[in-house]
Each structure stands twice: as structure tokens, then as C-alpha cells.
């Protein structure tokens, strides 16, 4: 999917589908969902009737071909409705194009279903039910969403994520979730199916990308209500204009009143509103993030607080050995030797880097026959080795090693805690090493802040978003990393329940909260947050709880997702401002044209110096129609987002789209008038 991020705005296939959609969406039952454009369609139908029966509503012709005038107005209104439908169809077409590529990965493959008696039965993947257990080997396609209950294998997820490098999936932990349609590259997996037929992750992705399950967001509903209110107000104004015209000695033609109504109601934003919402979800999807609803994307734009894990998000997460510090008069060579002995069978990044650093410093320790290695556990918080001669070597958390040494009758060196605090103050993780009842020193494990994080957090700060780092590290280490990364706050020694408390606290203050997570223990917090971004590599529970899933499993992507949400809101606000500002120029074009004959004093309002009343009305109507397709690229791509405060964003948009929305119609209507006036003169207008 990542290859689609730079897809053209409109491909020939999308254009063809959009043209067809423009006509099919003219169905009144569909158009009624967009009241503004429904008014345009009703106006088109009325002018069509007037084209057939010119005197239907008592209109009279004053030396002008009234029938032809009604036909022209009808055609322009019809094109206006088509352009609005075209904008929405283009947005939907882009989503359907992505969905088509996803559907290619959906194959009704054979699945090896494991029966209760231990035998295998070959069935179609579409026949699998939730709870079924299947066996999948190298070269086979995983038949459905599930969780690995046995085995470890490399899985090619490029069909879903676009990333060609295989990923490891294994039973237990946070990397046991697999997605239907992906392929096992090596080894085998025993998988328990977690979704019913037709409700897999891929099925939901396709439905969401196609827009089939898109619902209007709260902001979209609120704006739609405003547009309907403005439309009703202008309809009332138009109705009252007819008797006012009669009182002034002017009989206003019905088609002219309809033209005025269509020009004054916010047709521009009315025609683009749905397309903006669809395009917002489309932009998120092209960023390889699946939003479970438009509301989730919109919520991103309103985020006030962002909660981020330290490990893997702000820092690389691989704590690597950087140095050895002896304490209590111990020799550095002994510290390095014991640290290496503890790490000979330690497959963690910390263990491997400790052994590698020891080798670089000249250590040549080897595994002795009869040695018993002790793995790290959360209970003991240490690991080590018992040598054949009875020597016990351990490395681990400082307090755990202190307790271990004390039980053996040893003493804690006076400078140990000072050295531990010094390493923690540098943002590192101290691992204390002992040999029997003697503490030898400390291994300095260093976690590195990812490049560019300071600038990204500063960017968020400019737009008023507070960042809070959550970490299981001690307060001193957390404070150092927080300062280096540039976050606004941190929570040290953070447990899963602490994240929920933090989210609820921020929400109680009226703030919109976003966070990332991938584990089952993150699921409650992801569900509680207004914006929960789950990693595709994470557990099914995390993905079910979140309202967004990152297919690339990059926790830092939430920073960009928030900016996409901001862009969606800014685009909608900017085009609404432009649309309403447009009406001012149209007012100066049509009102003088309608009453100038009976009230010559209104000529001062004809500041564009339009040629005739008819060319003025038709010029405004034509501009009103063509501005919609002209703004489709902006609605699709979004207004360029720049990090700044809400006040500055509002001032900038008012200047560009407010003033621009006033000036553009004056220029556009005048140019159209210069073009069509000679043509109208040829046909007797």
C-alpha cells in the first residue's frame, strides 16, 4: 500500500468512474442527503419546466427569448450539480482504487484445519470460523486473522503493509497476531482464528477504504447544519424578493430568483464537504494507517495531549552497553570478565551488546562445561551463571543485586549508589554486577533518543499539543530522557493502569488525548483515549481497542497522523470561509442586475461594470458552477499545514481564503461577462 502514497490525483480509470458517479448520484433520494445541492437540483427541475412552459409561473418576456434564457439557467444548474457529484465521486474513486489492490490479496485459499482428534482436514478459508485452529507452513498463505498459539516463523506482510522485509511472528507476547492474506516465508505456525468469515481485518480495511462504512463526523454534521440554516435563510430572502420587486415595479422572473438563490447559498462548500471528509480518510490511508472511522481522523485534528511510550517511540529501545564502571576498589578487568560470563547465553540486545563490548576490550571468557545459566525474570530482576566451581555471578537491577549479596554476607560498596545515580542521570540504565558476595561494579546501558524528535515535539508545541512520555524507568532516568527529547512531561515507573489514570485525568480537564500501543496490556488505555493508534504487529486485543491501526507499526507515526487530522479541519474551515466569502461578490453581480432597470440608483452597486442584467446573472451562475471543480485538487490534497497557534491559523485562513474568496469571484465573474456578453448579444439578449 505504501507505493500508492504518491498516486496521481485522478487517473483515467478514476475519472471514468467519477463521471458515471456524477450522473448516478443525481437520484433525488441520494441528493437529499446534501440539502444544499438538493436545492440546486430542485432549481434545475423548476427551470426545466419553465423551459418547456415559459409562462408557468406567470413570467413574461420583455423582448427577450425567455424560453432560451430558462434553458441556459437550467443547463448551468445541471452542470453545478454534476460538478458537486464529480468531486465526491473522485474522492470515492481514489478509495476504491486502493480497495481494488487490497481485494487482489483476498483469495479463497485452502486451509489445513486441525480437528480435535489431531488430524488435519482441508477446507476453504471462507469456511473457517472463529476459534478454529489451523496449521500453516512455509510458502502457504495464512487463511484468516488469528493468534499464534504454537511455533515461530517469518511472515511476508507486504500484501498489507507494502513493506517487503518479512517480520517474525511467534506464540506469546505482543507479536503473536497474524493477518489473513499474508504469507509464511519460513518454518510453521499453529494459528487460532479470531474473526468470523467476512469480518477479517482485510475485509474491514476494504470497507473503510471504499468509504462504504463512512459516517459523517460530528464537525461535519455541525457544519452541514450551518449550511442548511444559511440555505433556509436565503430561501426566505428570495421568496420575499418577489413581492418587493412587484412593489418596485419589477416583475422578477422565476429563473432569475432561482439563479440568485443558488449563487447565494453556500454551494461551493456544499459540493465539496463530503469530498473533503472522504479525502481526509484517504490521506491517512495513503500514510499506511487505517482509520476505523472519519471521527477518528477528525479527533486527531483536535488533540490537546499526546501520550507516548519512551521505548521504541522516543528512543530506539535497544539499551546497549556503553561502558563498565568498577566500584568498591574492584578491578575493571574482573568486572568486564564477570559481565561477559553473565552474557554468554543472554540473547537480549543488552546481553549481546555487553558481550560485544567486553570482547572489544580484550575479554576472552568462554563457556565452561557444567555451567548453569540463570535467565532474567521479572521476579528476581537479575540473570547470571553458576560456574562449576560454585562461583555465582549475577547482573541485574542494583537493589536486587544488593539484596542477593547481603544474603551471602557481603557488603554494599559505599560508592555504588553514587555511580548508579550518575548513570541514571545520564539517561542510561545501570546494571550492577557481582561475583558471589562481592559487588564489582556497574554496566552502563545507554538508550538513544531518535534523531529529529526534539524538532517534532517543538512542532507539536507550536500548535498547542502537550506531549507526555510514559516509561517504566526510574524518575531520574526518565527526567534525563525527557529533557533530551524535549517532551513537556513524563511519568516514571509507569504501569498500564497508570496510563489509564493519566488519560482520564487529561480528559477530565476537557482535553482530547492520543496515544499509541501494541500490547494486550495497552488495550484498555487505547480504548480510553480519544485517538488510539495500535501497531499492526501488536496483539488482536490492541487493534480491536484502537480506532486506528498503523500498518507499518511505527509508533512515532502518530505525530504525522495528528497533523493530517489538523489538515482535514483546516481544509474544511478554509473552503467554508472561501465559499461564504464568494457570496459577497455574487451579491454585487446579481442584485444590481435585477433591480437596476426600475431603480437606477442601484447602478452604484454594479462595481464590476457588468454589461447587461442577463450577462451579469449568467456570469455569476457560471462562476458558481466552475469554481467547484477548480477546488477539487485543493479538497483532495488538503490545505498545506504549517505548525502555528490556533489564532495564527485563523488569521492566516481569513486573510488567504476570506479575502481571496471575495476577490476571486469579482475577477472571475468579470472575465466570464466579457466572454459571454458578445455571445448573448448574438442570440438577442
380 carries a ligand binding annotation: yes
- Which CA distances in Å does 169 have to 140, 172, 311, 544? 15, 9, 20, 19
Compute the C-alpha angle 633/221/273, nearest 5°: 15
What's the 3-state SS for 299-353? HHHCCCEEEEECECCCECCCCEEEEEEECCCCCHHHHHHHHHHHHCCCCCHHHHH
- Contacts with 243 (C-beta within 8 Å, 6 or more apart), sequence order: none
Type and span of the H or E element at 429: strand 428-435
Taking phi over 0 as left and psi of -120 to 50 as alpha, with beta for the rest, 450 belongs to beta
CB neighbours of 227 closer than 8 A, spacing ≥ 6?
A: 35, 36, 265, 266, 269, 270, 273
CA dihedral (139, 142, 143, 147) positive or negative: positive
Active site residue 309: yes
Please state, in angstroms and as integers, the Cα–Cα distance from residue 328 to each residue in 332, 333, 418, 429, following that order: 11, 14, 11, 20
Q: What are phi and psi of 375, to 5 degrees?
A: -75, 155
Query: The cell 547482573 sits on which residue?
Result: 395
- At 384 the three-state DSSP class reads strand
Pairing of strands 548-550, 289-291: antiparallel
Long-range contacts of the stretch 535-542 (C-beta < 8 A, 24+): 536/157, 536/160, 536/161, 536/179, 537/167, 537/174, 537/175, 537/177, 538/174, 538/175, 538/177, 539/147, 539/174, 539/176, 539/177, 540/145, 540/147, 540/177, 540/194, 542/174, 542/517, 542/518
Q: Find the catalytic residue in 156, 282, 309, 447.
A: 309
Question: Is 376 annotated to bind ligand?
Answer: yes
Grid cell in block for residue 63: 423582448
Q: Look at strands 489-491 and 466-470 and give their pairing.
A: parallel
Among 608, 615, 585, CA closest to 682:
615
Q: 289 Cβ partners below 8 Å, 6+ apart?
A: 533, 548, 549, 550, 551, 557, 561
Q: How many helices (H) and strands (E) would you count in the chain? A: 23, 20
Is 566 annotated for ligand binding?
no
Please tell me whether 350 is known to bind a ligand: yes
**Any known ligand binding at 466?**
no
| Pairing mode, strands 183-193 and 133-137 | antiparallel
Q: Is 31 annotated as a binding residue?
A: no
How far is Cα 538 from Cα 176, in angstroms, rounded to an integer?
A: 7
Annotated binding-site residue? 522? yes
Q: Is 456 annotated as a binding residue?
A: no
3-state secondary structure of 14: helix
d(CA 127, CA 145): 13
CB 577 within 8 A of CB 657: yes
How many other C-beta atoms can be found within 10 angstroms of the C-beta atom of residue 55? 11
Contact assessment for residue 50 and residue 255, using Cβ atoms and an 8 Å cutoff: yes
Buried b (16+ CB within 10 A) or exposed e, 541-567: bbbbbbbbbbbbbbbbbbbebbbbbbb
Burial 288-323 (b: 16+ CB within 10 A, else e): bbbbbbbbbbbbbbbbbbbbbbbbbbbbeebbbbbe
Alpha helices in 57-191 (DSSP H): 66-103, 158-161
| 108 in a known ligand binding site | no
CB atoms within 10 A of CB 669: 28
**Annotated binding-site ranges:** 346, 350, 376-383, 395, 518, 522
**Annotated binding-site ranges for Mg(2+):** 518, 522
Looking at the annotation, which residues are catalytic?
Answer: 309
Amino acid at each position: 500500500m505504501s507505493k500508492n502514497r504518491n498516486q496521481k490525483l485522478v487517473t483515467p480509470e478514476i475519472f471514468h468512474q467519477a463521471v458515471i458517479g456524477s450522473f448516478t448520484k443525481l437520484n433525488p433520494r441520494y441528493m437529499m442527503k446534501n440539502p444544499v445541492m438538493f436545492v440546486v437540483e430542485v432549481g434545475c427541475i423548476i427551470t426545466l419546466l419553465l423551459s418547456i412552459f415559459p409562462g408557468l409561473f406567470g413570467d413574461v418576456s420583455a423582448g427577450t427569448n425567455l424560453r432560451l434564457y430558462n434553458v441556459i439557467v437550467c443547463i448551468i444548474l445541471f452542470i453545478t450539480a454534476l460538478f458537486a457529484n464529480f468531486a465526491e465521486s473522485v474522492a470515492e474513486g481514489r478509495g476504491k482504487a486502493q480497495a481494488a489492490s487490497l481485494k487482489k490479496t483476498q483469495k479463497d485459499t485452502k486451509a489445513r484445519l486441525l480437528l480435535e482428534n489431531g488430524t488435519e482436514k482441508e477446507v476453504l478459508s471462507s469456511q473457517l470460523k472463529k476459534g478454529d485452529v489451523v496449521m500453516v507452513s512455509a510458502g502457504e498463505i495464512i487463511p484468516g486473522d488469528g493468534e499464534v498459539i504454537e511455533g515461530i516463523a517469518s511472515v511476508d506482510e507486504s500484501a498489507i503493509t507494502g513493506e517487503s522485509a518479512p517480520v517474525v511472528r511467534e506464540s506469546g507476547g505482543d507479536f503473536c497476531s497474524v493477518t489473513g492474506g499474508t504469507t509464511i516465508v519460513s518454518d510453521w505456525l499453529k494459528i487460532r482464528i479470531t474473526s468470523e468469515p467476512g469480518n477479517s481485518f482485510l475485509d474491514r480495511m476494504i470497507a473503510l477504504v471504499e468509504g462504504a462504512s463512512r459516517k459523517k463526523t460530528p464537525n461535519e454534521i455541525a457544519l452541514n447544519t450551518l449550511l442548511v440554516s444559511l440555505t433556509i435563510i436565503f430561501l426566505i430572502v428570495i421568496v420575499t424578493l418577489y413581492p418587493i420587486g412587484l412593489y418596485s415595479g419589477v416583475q422578477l422572473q422565476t429563473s432569475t430568483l432561482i439563479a440568485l438563490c443558488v449563487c447565494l447559498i453556500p454551494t461551493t462548500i456544499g459540493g465539496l464537504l463530503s469530498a473533503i471528509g472522504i479525502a481526509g480518510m484517504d490521506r491517512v490511508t495513503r500514510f499506511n494507517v487505517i482509520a476505523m472511522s472519519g471521527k477518528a481522523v477528525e479527533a486527531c485534528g483536535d488533540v490537546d495531549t499526546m501520550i507516548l511510550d519512551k521505548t521504541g517511540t522516543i528512543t530506539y529501545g535497544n539499551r546497549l552497553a556503553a561502558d563498565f564502571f568498577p566500584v568498591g576498589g574492584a578491578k575493571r578487568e574482573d568486572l568486564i570478565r564477570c559481565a561477559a560470563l553473565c552474557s554468554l547465553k543472554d540473547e537480549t540486545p543488552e546481553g549481546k551488546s555487553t558481550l560485544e563490548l567486553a570482547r572489544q576490550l580484550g575479554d576472552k571468557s568462554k563457556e565452561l562445561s557444567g555451567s548453569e545459566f540463570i535467565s532474567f525474570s521479572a521476579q528476581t530482576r537479575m540473570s547470571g551463571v553458576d560456574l562449576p566451581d560454585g562461583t555465582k555471578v549475577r547482573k541485574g537491577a542494583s537493589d536486587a543485586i544488593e539484596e542477593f549479596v547481603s544474603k551471602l554476607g557481603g557488603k554494599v560498596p559505599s560508592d555504588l549508589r553514587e555511580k548508579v545515580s550518575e548513570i541514571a542521570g545520564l539517561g542510561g540504565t545501570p546494571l550492577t554486577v557481582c561475583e558471589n558476595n562481592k559487588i564489582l561494579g556497574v554496566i552502563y546501558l545507554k538508550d538513544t533518543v531518535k534523531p529529529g524528535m526534539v524538532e517534532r515535539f517543538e512542532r507539536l508545541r507550536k500548535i498547542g499539543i502537550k506531549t507526555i512520555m510514559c516509561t517504566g524507568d526510574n524518575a531520574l532516568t526518565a527526567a534525563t530522557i525527557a529533557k533530551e527529547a524535549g517532551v513537556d512531561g513524563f511519568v516514571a515507573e509507569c504501569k498500564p493502569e497508570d496510563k489509564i489514570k493519566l488519560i482520564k485525568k487529561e480528559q477530565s480537564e476537557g482535553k482530547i488525548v492520543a496515544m499509541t500501543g501494541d500490547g494486550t496490556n495497552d488495550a484498555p488505555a487505547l480504548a480510553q483515549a480519544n485517538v488510539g493508534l495500535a501497531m499492526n504487529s501488536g496483539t488482536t486485543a490492541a487493534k480491536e481497542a484502537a480506532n486506528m491501526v498503523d500498518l507499518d507499526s511505527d509508533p512515532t507515526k502518530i505525530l504525522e497522523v495528528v497533523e493530517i487530522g489538523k489538515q482535514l479541519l483546516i481544509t474544511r474551515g478554509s473552503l467554508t470561509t472561501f465559499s461564504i466569502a464568494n457570496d459577497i461578490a455574487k451579491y454585487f453581480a446579481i442584485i444590481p442586475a435585477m433591480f437596476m432597470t426600475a431603480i437606477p440608483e442601484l447602478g452604484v452597486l454594479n462595481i464590476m461594470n457588468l454589461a447587461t442584467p442577463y450577462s451579469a446573472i449568467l456570469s455569476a451562475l457560471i462562476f458558481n458552477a466552475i469554481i467547484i471543480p477548480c477546488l477539487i485538487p485543493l479538497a483532495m490534497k488538503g490545505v498545506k499545514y504549517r505548525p502555528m497557534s490556533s489564532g495564527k491559523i485563523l488569521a492566516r485562513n481569513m486573510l488567504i481564503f476570506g479575502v481571496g474568496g471575495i476577490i476571486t469571484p469579482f475577477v472571475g465573474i468579470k472575465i466570464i461577462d466579457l466572454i459571454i456578453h458578445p455571445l448573448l448579444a448574438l442570440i438577442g439578449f
